[in-house]
Structure 1
Amino acid sequence: MILHTLIDYDILRLIWWSLIGVLLLAFAITDGFDLGTGILLPFVAKTDIERRVVINSVGPVWEGNQVWLILGGGAIFAAWPQLYAVAFSGFYLAMFAILVGLILRPVAFKFRSKREEPEWRARWDWVLFFCGFVPTLIFGVALGNVLQGVPFRLSSDMHIFYDGSFFGLLNPFAVLCGLVSVAMLVMHGAAWLQLKTEGAIAERTRFLGSVAALATFVLYAFAGVLLWAYIDGYRITSVINPIGPSNPLLKTVDGHVGAWFVNYAAQPWTLAAPALGLLGAIGAWLGLRMRREIFTILSSAVSVSGIILSVGASMFPFILPSSIDPRASLTVWDSSSSHLTLFIMLVVTAVFIPIIEAYTTWVYHVLWGKVDEQAIRDESGHAY
C-alpha cells in the first residue's frame, strides 16, 4: 500500500484548509500586535526615549512573528496553487503595497537610531506607522473583496482571467472591512503595549486602545449586518465530490443575499466564532480600563481569532468565490494540489511546526517583562 493513501484525499484537503487558517491566525495574533504597535507609535510616545521604548517592545520579536506570514504564503502556493495564482495576480498592486510596507519596516527599525537628529528619527517613526497601517488596511480590504467575490474566470484549460482593477477593490464594504482590520490590530497592539510598557506610554495606550476596542465591536457588528442583509454570498447547488479532481468548473454555484449565513443555521456551534470576535473586543476594552494586562492581551487575541474564524466558518467550503462566473469559484474540494503533495507537505509540517512553536515560546519566555526607559538608555548600543 502506498503510504499517502493512509489518509483520504478529502481529509487531507480539510486538514490543509484548517492549517492555512491556523497559520493566518498565528500571523494575525503575533505579527498583528507588531503592526498595531507601529500604528500607535506616533500617538502614544511623545519623546524620543518613549518612542524607543515602544519600538523595543516589539524589536526582538517582530522578525520571528513574520515567519507565520511566510509559512502561510508558502503553504497556499503548495497546497492551493489556483488560489495562489488568482490572489497574487488579481491583487498584484495591493500585494505590492503590502510588500513595500513589510520591506520598509526592517529598514526603519535598523536605521531609525543610527543618527540622533530629531527630524531623521521622526521620519522613520512615520515610516513605521505607514508600515503598520497600510498592510493592515489592505489585508482587511482584500478580505472584504473575497467575501463579495473576486472578478475572475477560468477557461476550459484552467487559464485564469482577472477582469478587475486595483481601484475596484476599494468599494465601500471592502473599505469597511479594512477599517475593522485597522481597529482590531490597533486594539491588539494596545493590549501588547499595556503588557510591555508603563507610565505615560501605558496611560495613552489604554485610552487609544479602549477606543479601538469599541470601534472593533461596532465596525465588526455593522459589517456582519451588511453581509447578512445586502451582500451576495455563494452556495454550491450541484453534488459535491470531496475526492474529485481539482477542476472548479465541474460544479454549479448559486449566489444570493445572506448565503454566507447558511452555515451558521446548519451548524449552530459555528456561531461561537463571531460571538468570540465581539466578546473578545468587549473583554479587551474592560481589560484596558481595569489595567488587567494578561486578561487584555488574551481577550484581544480571542477577538482577533473569532473575527478571522468567522470568515472561514461562513464561507466554507469556498476559498475564493468568483463574482463574474460563480462556477469558477475555488473551494476546498476542487482547487487543491494532488493527494501525494498534500501528504508530503503534512509530514514536513508535522515535523517543523512544533519546532517553530517551541522556539517561539522560548523566545517570549526569555523576553518576558516590561521595557524600561533606563534600560534603553543604558543599552544604547544594543537597543533600537
Structure 2
Amino acid sequence: MILHTLIDYDVLRLIWWALIGVLLVGFAVTDGFDLGSGILLPFVGRTDLERRVVINSVGPVWEGNQVWLILGGGAIFAAWPQLYAVAFSGFYLAMFAILTGLILRPVAFKFRSKREDPAWRARWDWVLFFSGFVPTLIFGVALGNVLQGVPFRLEPTMHIFYDGSFFGLLNPFAVLCGLVSIAMLVMHGSAWLQLKTDGAVAGRARNYGSLAAIATILFYAVAGLLLWKYIDGYRISSEIDRFGPSNPLLKTVEGHAGAWFANYAAHPWTMAAPAAGFIGALGAFIGLRFRREVFALLCSSLSISGIILSVGASMFPFILPSSIDPRASLTVWDSSSSHLTLFIMLVVTAIFIPLIVAYTTWVYHVLWGKVDEKEIREETGHAY
C-alpha cells in the first residue's frame, strides 16, 4: 500500500496530535455537562421530583456523550502506543477510580427510581454525585501531573518502568488542577441545567454556576501563575527528527523554568487558547446571571475548550514528559505508531467522525426543549 505516502509522516503525527486534542475537547464539552449535573444533583434538587428533572435532562444523552471518551482511548492506543502504555499502567489506580465512577453512573440511572423508598433514592443520588465528582477531579489531577512530568523511565529495549504511586499524584499543584476541572464542569453543568430546566432547579443552577464560573477564572489564573513561576517545564535541547523512528531515547531533554510558556512567545496565536478559557468563563457568568441560556452554554463550552487546548499549546511537542529521566519524555515526533497505521486510522476517522457528529447533532435537535415536571410526574414507563 503506497497511498500513505501522500501525506508525510511528520504531518500525520501532527494531525493525530491535534485529533487527540479534538477528542478530549469533544468528551469534556459533551460529557462534561453530564458530570457537572451529577455533581450538582444533591444541591439543585431539593425534592425527589426536582432531582428526577435533573436526571432526565441528561439521561437520554449521556451514553452518546461517552462515545468521545471511548474514541479518545482507542485513538491513544492505536496512534500513541507508548503514551497508552505509560498512562494506563502508571495511572492504573487513578483509571480504576475513574472507571468505577463511570460504571456506577448507568447503574444509578437505571435503579434510582425503581423503588419509592426515599432512602433508596437518596443513596443513588449520592452515587450519581460520586460518579460525577471523582472522574472530574481525577481527570484534572492527571493533567496537573502531566504538566509537572510523570515519574517513568524507558530501557533501551523500550521496556517502561513507572516509579510513582497513586498518592504521589495528589500533590498540591495537581489537586489545584483538579479544582479547575471541578469548577469548569460545575459551571458547564449549571449552564446545561439552566437550558433544560425551569423554576427552582434552574434558579439554583444559575447561582451555583455563577460561583463556579468565578472559581474557574481564579483557579485557572493561579494554576497558570504557579506554572510560570515555580514549576519547571521541559524543552528539547538536541536536534528534532520529525521523520525519525518512535524511540524517545534518541533526543536530549532538559528541565527549564518557564519552558511551558515558550510556545506563546514563539507563536503568539497560541495565546487564543488560554484567552478562550478566561473569556468563556466570564461569558458563562454573564449568561447565567442574565439568563441567556444558549449563550451561557456556548461560553462554558468555549472555556472548557480553551483550558484543555492551552495544555496542549503549552507542552507542544511534548505529550508526556518524564520527571525522573527527561530524555525518555514522549513527544509528537518520537512516540507514534507507524506511518501506515496513522494513515489508515486517519482514513477511518475521516469517515466516521462526521457520522458521529451528524448523529449527535440530530439527537440534540430531537431532544431540544426543557424537561417538564408535569410530564416527569405522570410518566411511568420511560422517564428516569
The answer to whether TM tops 0.5 is: yes
Q: Deviation of residue 254 (structure 1)?
A: 1.1
Alignment of structure 1 residues 82-161 onto 2, 5 Å: 82-161=82-161
Q: Give the letter for the 2:102 counterpart.
A: L
Determine the C-alpha separation between the residues in 1 that align with 2:257 and 2:86.
24
Q: Give the letter for the 1:370 counterpart.
A: K
Matched, 1:57 2:57: yes
The answer for the alignment partner of 1:380 in structure 2 is 380
Q: Deviation of residue 314 (structure 1)?
A: 0.3
Measured against aligned partners, the alpha-carbon deviations of 1:141-193 in whole angstroms (never above 9, x if no partner) come to 00000000000000010000000000000000000000000000000000000
Secondary structure of the equivalent of 1:254?
strand
Secondary structure of the equivalent of 2:157?
coil
- Normalized against structure 1, the TM-score is what? 0.99
Determine the C-alpha separation between the residues in 2 that align with 1:319 and 1:134.
24
The answer for the alignment partner of 1:278 in structure 2 is 278
Q: Deviation of residue 378 (structure 1)?
A: 2.2
The answer for the alignment partner of 1:250 in structure 2 is 250
Question: Any stretches of 5+ residues in structure 1 without a counterpart?
Answer: none
The answer for the alignment partner of 2:235 in structure 1 is 235
Determine the C-alpha separation between the residues in 2 that align with 1:357 and 1:279.
26
Q: Deviation of residue 377 (structure 1)?
A: 1.5
Measured against aligned partners, the alpha-carbon deviations of 1:112-157 in whole angstroms (never above 9, x if no partner) come to 0000100000000000000000000000000000000000000010
Secondary structure of the equivalent of 2:116?
coil
Determine the C-alpha separation between the residues in 1 that align with 2:191 and 2:43.
15
Determine the C-alpha separation between the residues in 2 that align with 1:74 and 1:109.
26
The answer for the alignment partner of 1:338 in structure 2 is 338
Measured against aligned partners, the alpha-carbon deviations of 1:283-334 in whole angstroms (never above 9, x if no partner) come to 1011110000011001000000000010000000000000000000000000
Question: Any stretches of 5+ residues in structure 2 without a counterpart?
Answer: none
Q: Deviation of residue 381 (structure 1)?
A: 1.5
Determine the C-alpha separation between the residues in 1 that align with 2:2 and 2:43.
59
Q: Deviation of residue 220 (structure 1)?
A: 0.2
The answer for the alignment partner of 1:183 in structure 2 is 183
Alignment of structure 1 residues 207-246 onto 2, 5 Å: 207-246=207-246
Q: Deviation of residue 279 (structure 1)?
A: 0.8
Determine the C-alpha separation between the residues in 2 that align with 1:69 and 1:306.
18
Measured against aligned partners, the alpha-carbon deviations of 1:63-104 in whole angstroms (never above 9, x if no partner) come to 000000000000000000000000000000000000000000
Secondary structure of the equivalent of 1:324?
coil
- Normalized against structure 2, the TM-score is what? 0.99
CA RMSD of aligned residues (A): 0.6
Secondary structure of the equivalent of 1:244?
coil
Determine the C-alpha separation between the residues in 1 that align with 2:109 and 2:142.
27
Aligned structure 1 segments of 4 or more residues deviating by more than 6 angstroms: none
The answer for the alignment partner of 2:302 in structure 1 is 302
Secondary structure of the equivalent of 1:216?
helix
Q: Give the letter for the 1:311 counterpart.
A: V
Count of aligned pairs between the two proteins: 384
